[in-house]
Amino acid sequence: MTVAGADAAPPGGPDDEPGTGPAGGRSDASDTPGRPVQDTAGAFGPAFPGPAAPAGAVPPVSLDPDDESDDTIALRIEALIIGAERQYTPFQAARAAGVSMELAARFWRAMGFPDIGQARVLTEADVLALRRLAGLVEAGLLSEPMAIQVARSTGQTTARLADWQIDSFLEGLTEPPEPGMTRTEVALPLVELLLPELQEFLVYVWRRQLAAATGRVVQAQDDAEMVDRRLAVGFADLVGFTRLTRRLEEEELGELVEAFETTAADQVAAQGGRLIKTLGDEVLFAADDAGTAADIGLRLVETLREDPMMPELRVGIAFGTVTTRMGDVFGNTVNLASRLTSIAPKDMVLVDGAMRDELTSAALAPRSEKAADVAEARPPGYRFALQPLYQRPVRGLGIVEPWLLTRRDDTG
């Protein structure tokens, strides 16, 4: 199959372009005898032990099952996870996939893979991934920039997921199953047991999330709304977090952040919102409608208030047009939500005028609390109360009138 960029692939073997790494740069780490190989841990496995091998040479590492050195166990774990042997240099892999070295380098960099010179560390799986991605471009299903975005978003998301999972597993390995066993020795059987289960689980969750995201796109009114959508966007921020970092031990701080992120993720998901990202002491969430976002903001405050170990929380929510890209959100609405969070009182939720209009138009909150206090004028269904605060200038956004959001006592 002729793939985009294939004509640019030069003929010949790997020695035709010595020292060219996956990112297209030159590296002498693999073709200078005696020079130590730089650590290529991560996407391409652990650093090769000992002196560097010449370009294209197989690293002199024994995979003898009786060899229990950390380097050997690490390579055995890599082989178990990848499911294929190291046999290609980057140039050989690009040529086998029918892709130019330049395009292969762009894909590899987008996926977050390091420069490795012309060391032979790539597998048949790497060739197949290149061939598939480039084939989507050739078939016209993806443009080249779109394919790069797919590679980048997948690489960034899975890199964080992998780090998160490994940290969690290592945290659970406080005591080895047998005295004297190191974490490295425990890791191999652990990976053997977990890998197939986690792989199936990952695909299941991805399909579920993909179905939900596709459903939101299908429900969009027009093509423009698929990218620039009207959403409620909120930030929740722990108060005094900087002071806490100076008071707490690192382990205590990590536990607090983990508890906060877990609580936030649970509440956002339970109410039907989407957790966009976590930033340590702050989370960013979004919802398709104002009522859902209001519930999320209030539930976060109410839940964390019950935990004596948690600092106070402040929440800001704005409603408006939001640009969505690679799972993130951008625009003035996001900036406004962030500014509202910074001026919100402790354990309170502030919303902007557009959010207030959405809540009142949906009969979730009264336009006037004075009118709502009259029994005859109080229809059932008001869930929220809104109190106007003083208008104030917000840097970069002009004059803003924030509204204090609370629950109504007569809910239900």
The string of DSSP letters for 243-298 reads HHHHHS-HHHHHHHHHHHHHHHHHHHHHHT-EEEEE-SSEEEEEESSHHHHHHHHH
Q: How confident is the model at residue 89 (pLDDT cuts 50, 70, 90)?
A: very high
Place of tokens 């929510």: 317
- The region that residue 220 occupies, defined by phi over 0 for left and psi between -120 and 50 for alpha, beta otherwise, is beta
Place of tokens 């005028």: 353
User: Residue 343 class from Cβ within 10 Å (0-12 exposed, 13-18 middle, 19+ buried)?
Assistant: middle
Q: How confident is the model at residue 387 (pLDDT cuts 50, 70, 90)?
A: very high
Residue 410 vs residues 278, 366, 407: alpha-carbon distances, Å: 34, 13, 9
Condensed to tens digits (0 to 9), the pLDDT of residues 117-135 reads 888 889 999 999 999 999 9
Q: What confidence score (pLDDT) does residue 41 get? A: 41
**3-class DSSP state for residue 315?**
strand
DSSP state of 26: B
Spatial distance between the Cα atoms of 97 and 1, rounded to a whole number of angstroms: 9
What is the pTM assigned to this prediction? Answer: 0.62
Give the range with max mean pLDDT: 13-27, 56-70, 177-191.
177-191
Domain boundaries, the chain: 6-172, 223-407
Residue type (1 letter), 337: A
Q: How confident is the model at residue 395 (pLDDT cuts 50, 70, 90)?
A: confident
Q: What confidence score (pLDDT) does residue 243 get? A: 83
Spatial distance between the Cα atoms of 406 and 386, rounded to a whole number of angstroms: 7
Q: Are 44 and 133 in contact (CB under 8 A)?
A: no
Give the range with max mean pLDDT: 193-197, 237-241, 346-350.
346-350
Condensed to tens digits (0 to 9), the pLDDT of residues 215-228 reads 767 766 555 555 57
Q: What confidence score (pLDDT) does residue 69 get? A: 61
- Selection from 359, 356, 355 nearest residue 381 by Cα: 359
Condensed to tens digits (0 to 9), the pLDDT of residues 177-211 reads 666 666 667 777 778 888 888 889 999 988 988 88
User: Residue 308 class from Cβ within 10 Å (0-12 exposed, 13-18 middle, 19+ buried)?
Assistant: exposed
- For domain 223-407, which architecture applies? 2-Layer Sandwich (3.30)
Residue 160 or residue 180, greater confidence: 160
